[in-house]
Amino acid sequence: MTISAHAGDIDRRLLMDRSVTGRKAFTLPDSDVPEQNLPDSSFLRDDVELPEVSQLEVIRYFSVLSQLNFSIDTNFYPLGSCTMKYNPKINDELSNLPGLADIHPLQPDETVQGAIRLLKNLQDDLGEITGLPGVSLAPLAGAQGEYAGLLIARAYHNARNDSVRTVAIIPDSAHGTNPASAAMAGLDVVTVRSDDQGNVDVVNLRELANENTAVFMLTIPSTLGLFEPNILELTKIIHDVGGLVYADGANLNALLGLVKLGDLGVDICHSNLHKTFSTPHGGGGPGSGPVMVTDELAKFLPKPVAEKTDDGYVLATPEMSVGSINGFHGSFSIAVRAYAYIKALGLEGLQSVSENAIISANYIQAKLRDKYDLAADRYCMHETVLSAARQKKRGVAGLDIAKRLLDFGIHAPTMYFPMIVDEALMVEPTESESKETLDHFIAVMRQIDDEVDSAPELVHEAPHDLPVTRLDEATAARKPVLRWTAD
């Protein structure tokens, strides 16, 4: 057999297929205590079939796999709604400090004063930024923040003996977690339409809002990257019927220091620390989705809430708390990173984040609008939703354009969301990217538009230069193979 020379070839065999009996990557110390009796053998298992590989093989295997990923550290990643900004390295270092990474969640409060003080300071900063001073850092991601917020809304109505309120009004442009969280909270989802400008249809909202309305869930800015011009009217409509306004704060990156959600009539919101506050997304988490509320609603917050007392800092349970939505105190290491980010930027830095995020998105929009349709023809906030409807008519779908971008080392925009936009390509550049990067992206998007006519097969079959070409997702779902098996 001849071995062909391809430095780029990658060995993707799974760990179990690399396993060689007797190899090891690690040794444990010998026991230093007198030998203890083992339990009856009926309790005990035979071997656990885990891989047997050397330490170098562990390192090389995972290092090589890492190189198959696009990431913020290596690529422009304009994934709309996901705020893929620079994740400062110092944040990771600080979260790993001894004294932060190695403390146990059930240690007595007096032994973790620094940790609780940090949580309290972060709560205060988030309360200040959103204008909603009651804060719990317990939720482990945006969706859990939503759920916590809905539990608070329900508890508030119940406490007023107003338990007939079982409807959540949600715009048709909402993220899927909004209706899913509402259903978990036992609420019936009623959909409010968007108008032709991409705003919530005020007339429709007025028709839907009534004495059954528990909560109106609104994303601010909207998932179309737009600020609702009628926001004060929308929140008033809901308050007038006795409902609460929930803001999905996934898009908070547009608002830092520019406007406070609390000033707009929002009662409850969440924020994704893994978006606006720069904590790394990790390929799908961990996240953190703090929930912020008005003073009036603070007594319902999920536990714990960090508080300052005369005896120092404590983790407290609010008086009418909706309870424990997870095991301990939320994503502490993520909170450390987010706090470091706020401290590093300070007030002016935070304002500058949103300013630059908004300018960058509008710049891209201005430079591409002659080639791509816009979901709404007006200035956007921190992201612009393009539509590939024109390209679709010429035979190339949004999906194809997204895949073709990968060939240029640019991650695809968010596709087919929001669902109300045909062939949506949602582009969020963030403040982290330089003008050169934006110009390069613009040039590539324009070239792909040319390719739609000049070389359609290039676009249809993209990507060409990645570790794999398009994958057969239908077979993956029809005949699921979900783990390694011996054969």
Ligand X SMILES: Cc1ncc(COP(=O)(O)O)c(C=O)c1O
Q: Which residues bind ligand X (CB under 6 A)?
A: 81, 141-143, 175, 177, 219, 223, 248, 250, 272, 287, 289
Tell which positions 215-274 bind other proteins, by CB under 8 A: 226-229, 231-232, 257-260, 263-264, 272, 274
CB of 28 to other proteins, least distance (A): 4
Give Cα 321 to chain centroid, integer Å.
25
Asked whether the beta carbons of 230 and 110 are under 8 A apart, the reply is: no
Which of ligand X, other proteins, none does 219 bind, CB closer than 5 to 8 A by kind? ligand X
Distance between CA 282 and CA 285 in Å, rounded? 5
Q: Which stretch binds other proteins (CB under 8 A): 174-182, 238-246, 387-395, 444-452?
A: 174-182
Which of ligand X, other proteins, none does 299 bind, CB closer than 5 to 8 A by kind? none
20 binds other proteins (CB under 8 A): no
E strands, 406-469, are 414-415, 424-427
Which of ligand X, other proteins, none does 363 bind, CB closer than 5 to 8 A by kind? other proteins
Which of other proteins, ligand X, none does 248 bind, CB closer than 5 to 8 A by kind? ligand X
Distance between CA 487 and CA 482 in Å, rounded? 15
Q: Is the peptide bond before 463 cis (omega within 30 degrees of 0)?
A: yes
CB of 396 to other proteins, least distance (A): 17
15 binds other proteins (CB under 8 A): yes
39 binds other proteins (CB under 8 A): yes
String of b and e for 427-445 (b: at least 16 CB within 10 Å)?
Answer: bbbbbbbeeeebebbbebb
454 binds other proteins (CB under 8 A): no
317 binds other proteins (CB under 8 A): no
Q: Select 184 or 453, whichever has its Cβ closest to other proteins.
A: 184
Q: Which is nearest to 150 in space by CA: 168, 126, 129? A: 168
Asked whether the beta carbons of 75 and 440 are under 8 A apart, the reply is: no
Q: Report the C-alpha dihedral over residues 50, 51, 57, 60, rounded to 10 degrees.
A: -60
449 binds other proteins (CB under 8 A): no
Asked whether the beta carbons of 458 and 449 are under 8 A apart, the reply is: no
Q: Select 228 or 248, whichever has its Cβ closest to ligand X.
A: 248
Tell me the per-residue interface mask from 352 to 391 with other proteins, x by CB under 8 A, - otherwise: xx-xx-xxx-xx-xxx-----------x-x----------
Token pair belonging to 211: 């004495």
Which of other proteins, ligand X, none does 432 bind, CB closer than 5 to 8 A by kind? other proteins
Distance between CA 353 and CA 37 in Å, rounded? 61
Distance between CA 166 and CA 411 in Å, rounded? 40
82 binds other proteins (CB under 8 A): yes
Distance between CA 408 and CA 401 in Å, rounded? 11
280 binds other proteins (CB under 8 A): yes
420 binds other proteins (CB under 8 A): no
